[in-house]
Amino acid sequence: MLITMSEEELHRIGVIKGVCNKQLTQMTAASMLGLTRRHIQRLVNQFRQDGEVGLVSKRRGQASNRRFLPEFREKVFTLVKQKYADFKPTFACEKLAELHGIKLSSETLRQWLITEGLWRVRKRKQKKIYQPRYRRECYGDLVQIDGSHHDWFEGRSAKCCLLVFIDDATSQLMSLRFCESETSYDYMNITREYIDNYGKPIAFYSDKHSVFKVNSPSRKSSKQMTQYGRILYELNIELICANSSQAKGRVERANRTLQDRLIKEMRLAGINTIEEANAWLPEFMADFNRRFACSAYSSQDAHRPAQESAVELDDIFTRQSSRTVSNSLTLQYDKVIYLLDPTDKAKRLVNKRVMIYDYPDGTIALRYCGEELTYSVFDTLRHVQQGEIVSNKRLGAALAFAKESQEERAEEHHRHRNKKAGSRKAQARCINPVFMQDVEFKASLTRD
């Protein structure tokens, strides 16, 4: 009869053979198998009497002594069919224990239900395979960019975001910048700094954050670009959005390393604020690249010099939008009404679209066909649209700003209430005769 043995039994047979052939002592065999010497002697006697079959468990193929009785199993099936037919195994187990006093493992019940065809095993979704991609050959050919939201200062300052630019060919950190949240202006500033330091790369590789891609369902079919996408288009830099985080794994792994090393380095350096960190980051980048950067396959530098002047770059790195001039020479942008000076040139712009340049420092410029238009701020709209959407990556900064504004308004309201209350008391004392009589009566009691 053919008997299938487990690896443990095969190992035990080999050790017992070694004892029988006097290649191992019984004490050595006992330590190897985790048994006592007397048990080793029993196994040796069984092996000499019955051979290898004597070392096989005699209970193989027999039912376990701890098995549930068939009557108990039928009772469970009856209850499940009558009361818990649509319950999942774990939930049914809880109810059996709570309402019927039947203690049973949820996995045991699951296997019973599968055997009886009362529960169907769910097929697990096959994990998607991401095969590795070779590095780009040239330095500056592809730069991966991402924002990492983390408690970078370990509670010494508020949570913030670190913008990371890393070269795909060399894993070299190109630019780092701390900011309160992941906004278009922050990416404009770090990209401008990157171009000033290295030039223009061939392409940036990012995720599908709203800074890089228009994610509105109604606009997916259109060719509308975000402000950051428009900037890269004017600079002749390609923007590639990855379909998954694994696709831009180089910057994701760099974020994980930075969340370990950078935090500890800032703790040792005594850096507690965003301003201090941004001033110190070049020193950290130089040390990091010395340790972890590698050489590119090609010695060619794919960066291109910026052909635009500093003034042209200032105009490119802005939020640009167009508005129609009304009959009263006004236009509205960002809840502010701007009034054009009533010149002959401005009067000819009625019902025409003018460009608005919103610079990162907060200044606004109005232009038509490249010509500057003079204006004044007419009014600031005070109403707030309740349907305004805040990106989830900016929610922390938005809530912090809202909390600060609410505290300031609460203090101002409290001071206003105290001031009004004081004025009302003063008026009551002056004009209320009942109050005056009460004061005179209390004074008489004091005198008496």
pLDDT tens profile 358-389: 998 888 999 998 888 999 887 665 544 444 44
Q: What is the dihedral of CA 196, 139, 277, 251, to 10 degrees?
A: 130
CA distance 185 to 227: 9
Indicate if 153 and 287 belong to the same structural domain.
yes
**pLDDT number for residue 61:** 72
Q: Are residues 265 and 353 in the same domain?
A: no
Looking at the domain assignment, is residue 178 inside a domain?
yes
8 Å CB contact between 66 and 59? no
Residue 240 lies in a domain: yes
User: Is residue 65 in a domain?
Assistant: no
**Cα torsion at 280, 282, 285, 289 (round to 10°)?**
-150
Mean pLDDT value of segment 166-186: 93
User: Is 301 contained in some domain?
Assistant: no
Give domain status of residue 374, yes or no.
yes
Q: Which residues contact 33 (CB under 8 A, 6 or more apart)?
A: 11, 12, 15, 40
CA distance 290 to 173: 10
> Which range among 11-15, 73-77, 212-216, 382-386 shows the weakest confidence by mean pLDDT?
382-386
- Judgement on whether residues 334 and 370 belong to the same structural domain of the protein: yes
Write the pLDDT tens digit of every residue in 103-158. 889 999 999 999 888 888 877 777 777 677 888 899 999 999 999 999 999 999 99
274 & 322 share domain: no
Same domain, 278 and 152: yes
**What was the pLDDT predicted at 7?**
83
74 and 51 in one domain?
A: no
Shared domain for 75 and 107, answered yes or no, is yes
**Half-sphere exposure of residue 316: CA atoms within 13 angstroms, side-chain side:** 23
Q: Which residues of 313-334 are buried (b: 16+ CB within 10 A; e: fewer)?
A: bbbbbbbbeebebeeebebeee
Count of CB atoms situated within 10 Å of the CB of 416: 10
- For residues 87-114, average pLDDT: 91
The reply to whether 302 falls in a domain is no
pLDDT over 80 (residue 347): yes
Domain enclosing residue 95, as ranges: 70-116
Domain's final residue, options 337, 361, 380? 380
Let me know how long the chain is: 448
pLDDT band at 186 (very low <50, low <70, confident <90, very high): very high
User: Is there a single domain that holds both residue 200 and residue 334?
Assistant: no
Contact at 8 Å (CB) between 338 and 378? yes
Judged by average pLDDT, the poorest of 74-88, 128-142, 245-259, 347-361 is: 128-142
User: Per-residue pLDDT tens for 220-232?
Assistant: 545 688 999 999 9
Burial class (CB in 10 A: 0-12, 13-18, 19+), 359: middle
> Are 76 and 169 found together in one domain?
no
Query: Tokens standing for 4?
Result: 């299938």
**Does residue 259 share a domain with residue 197?**
yes
> Which DSSP letter does residue 392 get?
G
Percent of the chain at pLDDT > 70 equals 83
In a domain, 389, yes or no: no
Residue 375 lies in a domain: yes
Distance of alpha carbon 293 from the chain centroid: 26
**196 and 105 co-located in one domain:** no
pLDDT in tens, 291-301: 999 999 999 99
Q: Are 105 and 192 within one domain?
A: no
What the block records as the tokens of 218 is: 């109604």
Q: Which of 354, 380, 406 is the last residue of a domain?
A: 380
The number of folded domains in the chain is 4
**DSSP one-letter code for 243:** S
Nearest to 75 by CA among 101, 98, 114: 101
Stretch 262-281: mean pLDDT: 94
Q: If 0-12 CB within 10 Å is exposed, 13-18 middle and 19+ buried, where does residue 144 land?
A: buried
Q: Which tens digits make up the pLDDT trace of 272-326?
A: 999 999 999 999 999 999 999 999 999 999 999 988 888 899 999 999 999 999 9
3-state secondary structure (DSSP) of residue 129: coil
